[in-house]
Structure 1
Amino acid sequence: MAEKGSSIPGPRPSRIIGNLKQICPKAHITWTEWCQRYGPVCRVNLGPMGDSILLGNIDVLRRAFEESPEIFSGRFVLPIVKKDGAVGTMTWENDAVYDQRRQLLSTVMKQVDLDKLAQNEAIAVCDVLSEKGDTSSDLVYRLIEEANLSMISTFCFRREQRCPYDDPKFKELKNRVTKMNHKLKNLMGEKANLFPVLWAPFYKDFRKKRKNLRCLVSKELDAHKENLDSSNIRDLIDGYLGKADGIEFPENDCPWHIMNLMGSTITLKNAIQWIILLITKHPEIQTKVQEEVSSVFVDRAPTTDDVDKLPYTNATIYETLRIACPAAQVVPHMTQKDVNFDGFDVKSGTVVFGNIWGLHHDKNHWEEPEKFNPDRFLDSNGQLDIDKESFVPFGLGKRRCPGETYAKKAMFMFVTNIYQRYGFEAVDGETLPDVDEGVINVGLHNPPPYKLKIVPRN
């Protein structure tokens, strides 16, 4: 390891592509190994995009993102994002524009009944499970994907009126989103980041799919203009057009912002898919969750008012966020000033990554971190305890996930509603995947597709 004040230590890069080839496809595992080998502040070369630094433990992550936001809360905009034209969205903005976009989103979230939105979707999922029964072993995995898209589209442009999964308009939206996502999987390692000139000849199909989705969202924008009531904000498009909280953005930004949100909420979908998978792999945990849910909801449906009454169920959710770590890597930050950090000189404009996976599997903070154990989130009295030093599933500091509150409610509603009525088992002859079989896609840790047998409860 290099001495303090010298160059930041890290793996040896190749001449053209740096360390990019070494960190794909499971960057979270590679990054954790590098931080263990080179130290908690590690240099990673991104080829033509230059050097970046990787923050590998909770101490350096807090000092950077929480204690020095004026330096470390910038956003590095990938070349492919610039080419795509999606800079005008909250994910890729900086400074005052970012603050205003986040405030607009927060204002709309306060005016929309998010509790009801999550409850309606959870009930809809259970109704589909009841209707179709055990006719398809991959039904649960696919259904969670549809439910997630339904929730975000309802919030963005359906004015609190959810759309059935078999509705033609919803099917069209799902088709366009799916096709677009399949065209761009490894955001950091895309060829256009290394050689931007490849954008025009090699990304024609992606640009076409992106344009098709934007056209669909733009139609919703036009429809909202016809009967807008700025005093009654019911979704995100209403918020844009009605200038919620006095915040005004160019109308052209709205479709980009919505498309960006559709991508960012994939984390919630991944989390729910991981929760169901891991509970199914541990029948004794499934039994405990079902018994707790049944003890609280004897003859009524769950609501978010009951969160504090189910400590074990919540502990199971949080343990899933820890071990599976759906957001295994933070979207790249960027330094906005020169700084001496942890004894190393870091220039302004340096890309900064936080290795969330490494934090959630740090043996210095977690006993047997590879073991799925919800009890670690319960105190001696059996009450929920999530105040863990190395647990940051929603990030840290200024760039902390703005949808954290809603995501927690949605996960709770899905788990309680589903396990009140159902349980799951592995399909005969099929082996359920483990956490280490997860796949990184655009910085998110996705569970591989799995099959389940649906077991209705009496």
Structure 2
Amino acid sequence: MSEETKKLPGPRGGLILGSLNEIGPKAHVTWTKWSATYGPIFRVDLGPLGDSVVLSDYNVLKKAFEDNADVFSGRFVLPIVEKAGSHGTLSWEVGEIHEKRTRLTLAVLEKLDLNKLAQNEVEAFCDMLKERQDKSPSTLYEMIHESNMNMALAYTYQRGQRCQYDNEKFRQRMALMDNVSEARRNLIAENVNFFPFLWHIGCSKFRQVHDALRSNINQELSSRDPSIATVQDLMDGYLAKVDGIDFPAKDSIPHIINFIGASLSLKTAIQWLLLLITKHKDVQTKIQNEVTSVFGDEVPTMEGIDKVPYTSATIRETLRIACPAAQVVPHMTRADVKFEGYDIKNGTVVFGNIWGLHHDTKYWEEPETFNPDRFLNSKGKLDNIDEESYVPFGRGKRRCPGEDFSKRVMFLYITSIYQKFGFEEVEGHPLPDVDDGIIHGGRHKPPPYKVKIVPRSDGE
């Protein structure tokens, strides 16, 4: 068969649902298995949504999302997202408006003291660990969620201020966001995406929780003076038209919802970090010793990041083996394109299988094994292999704009926590494995777990 008529390989789908039943709840796992049969680029029949393309190798992912970014940087807006209101969001916009929205976001983040915000939140989190250390088994899983939500609200529409965890306004806003998150358990697999008429039949709860959150944010927006002198959060950025970037102030509402939702990936990463470190006592001991040797009793700061390579390697390894973004949000081609010998039509949905890249034996030795040392060289220093099949924050124009902030926050959490505490498995509550991860809201997250908080004494 000539290259001009080369047909994309892939599993044969059924007449109505295509391959949806075979994909199952963990598409990233299924796609990784299928890539072993069909190769690094293959077709998947999504039934009513038509054919899509899955990229499961670093080279094809790079060629698509970087070398051919203009063609592959489109966004397939899921029907349920469109019906819920996708306008004004970074995740679903394309072209010039997406670039403009990104500039606004980055301009706001530059004006906020994110390091101070993160540092204050981490210190409060450690205080909460101390307070709850005798309450075993601890719901550390939920504590991480509370802490992350406090930060997300602070830099979106809470004027850069964190709240006490029992603050009534904070609890209300967190509950509203939790309701939306629960309603979006598996965005891609929602029945409305395949049968749009169900929006008016079976999605009343979905509509209600979104309307309640939008109403809460709109109340805050209505209470603010549009003549903003100092930008303190994302909402202020819209009102002040930061750096001359002009969007209607009401656009801040879906943007805030989207941004808080995206921040849940950071929470998920920290939950995986503490889980995997607890499951590997030798890793926990090494991190504790390294943090103590570098920071002693001083508050850990970003200036010391190069001095704790093993801790940094553990963060990287967690993002590899249990990446929250196991599959990238679906891209869409913006033109007909000849790619790797295949004709791909304009408007084709394209998935990048990050899980497959991070578990590819071509790049990783024993990829199913949690091993932070793989990121260290023979001298114990960080080996910079970010460009080789390691893409926890995506690639190309759609790369996560919060990458640098997320890395800083994870570093501050891990160094500050293990400077003062450790964790142990609780009898009768076995800790889950990476394979037990679930897909929730498009993220690969660990199921809830409990641990015992163990305070360190005298640096031991």
Runs of 4+ in 1 over 4 A off after TM superposition: 1-4
- Give the conservation status (yes or no) of the 8 Å contact 1:138–1:452: yes
Higher mean alpha-carbon deviation, 4-13 vs 75-84, is at 4-13
Q: Which SS does the other structure have where 2:225 is aligned?
A: helix
- Give the conservation status (yes or no) of the 8 Å contact 1:13–1:45: yes
Matches within 5 A, 1:304-453: 304-388=302-386, 389-453=388-452
Alignment deviations for residues 308-338 of structure 1 (CA, whole Å, 9 cap, x no partner): 1110000000000000111100000010111
- How far is the alpha carbon of 1:47 from its aligned partner? 1.4
- Matched with 1:279 is 277
Higher mean alpha-carbon deviation, 77-86 vs 89-98, is at 77-86
- Matched with 2:258 is 260
Alignment deviations for residues 189-214 of structure 1 (CA, whole Å, 9 cap, x no partner): 11111111110111011110111111
Q: Which SS does the other structure have where 2:21 is aligned?
A: helix
Identity of aligned pairs, percent?
Answer: 53
Change over 3 Å in CA distance of 1:384–1:415 after alignment to 2:
same
- Matched with 1:76 is 76
Alignment deviations for residues 151-180 of structure 1 (CA, whole Å, 9 cap, x no partner): 110001122211111100011011111122
CA distance in 2, matches of 1:88, 1:19: 32
- Matched with 2:293 is 295
- Give the conservation status (yes or no) of the 8 Å contact 1:42–1:53: yes
Matches within 5 A, 1:173-188: 173-188=173-188
- Give the conservation status (yes or no) of the 8 Å contact 1:224–1:237: no
CA distance in 2, matches of 1:338, 1:372: 41
Query: What 5-or-longer segments of structure 1 have no aligned partner?
Result: none
- Give the conservation status (yes or no) of the 8 Å contact 2:136–2:453: no
CA distance in 1, matches of 2:10, 2:443: 23
- Give the conservation status (yes or no) of the 8 Å contact 2:185–2:441: yes
Letter of the 2:440 counterpart: N
- Give the conservation status (yes or no) of the 8 Å contact 1:18–1:46: yes
- How far is the alpha carbon of 1:106 from its aligned partner? 0.4
Alignment deviations for residues 240-271 of structure 1 (CA, whole Å, 9 cap, x no partner): 10001111112221110000111111110110
- How far is the alpha carbon of 1:302 from its aligned partner? 0.7
- Give the conservation status (yes or no) of the 8 Å contact 1:324–1:445: yes
- Matched with 2:66 is 66
Letter of the 2:397 counterpart: K
- Matched with 2:17 is 17
CA distance in 2, matches of 1:161, 1:41: 46
Matches within 5 A, 1:78-157: 78-157=78-157
- Give the conservation status (yes or no) of the 8 Å contact 2:23–2:30: yes
Q: Which SS does the other structure have where 1:345 is aligned?
A: strand
Letter of the 2:371 counterpart: N
- Give the conservation status (yes or no) of the 8 Å contact 1:2–1:9: no
Figure out how many residues of one structure are paired with residues of the other and give that number.
456
Q: Which SS does the other structure have where 1:387 is aligned?
A: coil
* TM-score, with length taken from structure 2: 0.97
CA distance in 2, matches of 1:74, 1:194: 20
- Give the conservation status (yes or no) of the 8 Å contact 2:133–2:452: no
* TM-score, with length taken from structure 1: 0.97
Q: Which SS does the other structure have where 2:379 is aligned?
A: coil
- Give the conservation status (yes or no) of the 8 Å contact 2:108–2:234: yes
Alignment deviations for residues 120-154 of structure 1 (CA, whole Å, 9 cap, x no partner): 11111100111122314242110100111111100
Letter of the 1:90 counterpart: L
CA distance in 2, matches of 1:2, 1:83: 43
Letter of the 1:165 counterpart: Y
- Give the conservation status (yes or no) of the 8 Å contact 2:156–2:260: no
- Matched with 2:246 is 248
- How far is the alpha carbon of 1:3 from its aligned partner? 7.3
- Give the conservation status (yes or no) of the 8 Å contact 2:87–2:251: no
Letter of the 2:126 counterpart: C
- Give the conservation status (yes or no) of the 8 Å contact 1:317–1:411: yes
Whether 1:48 and 2:51 are equivalent positions in the alignment is: no
Query: What 5-or-longer segments of structure 2 have no aligned partner?
Result: none
Q: Which SS does the other structure have where 2:91 is aligned?
A: helix
Letter of the 2:68 counterpart: S
CA distance in 1, matches of 2:111, 2:136: 38
- Give the conservation status (yes or no) of the 8 Å contact 1:81–1:87: no
Q: Which SS does the other structure have where 1:239 is aligned?
A: helix
Alignment deviations for residues 275-298 of structure 1 (CA, whole Å, 9 cap, x no partner): 000000000110000000111111
- Matched with 2:211 is 211
Higher mean alpha-carbon deviation, 270-279 vs 422-431, is at 422-431
- Give the conservation status (yes or no) of the 8 Å contact 2:228–2:239: no
Q: Which SS does the other structure have where 2:5 is aligned?
A: coil
CA distance in 1, matches of 2:124, 2:309: 25
CA distance in 2, matches of 1:166, 1:136: 20
Alignment deviations for residues 23-45 of structure 1 (CA, whole Å, 9 cap, x no partner): 22111110101111111111011
CA distance in 1, matches of 2:5, 2:453: 58
- How far is the alpha carbon of 1:58 from its aligned partner? 0.1
CA distance in 1, matches of 2:192, 2:381: 49
CA distance in 1, matches of 2:184, 2:109: 29
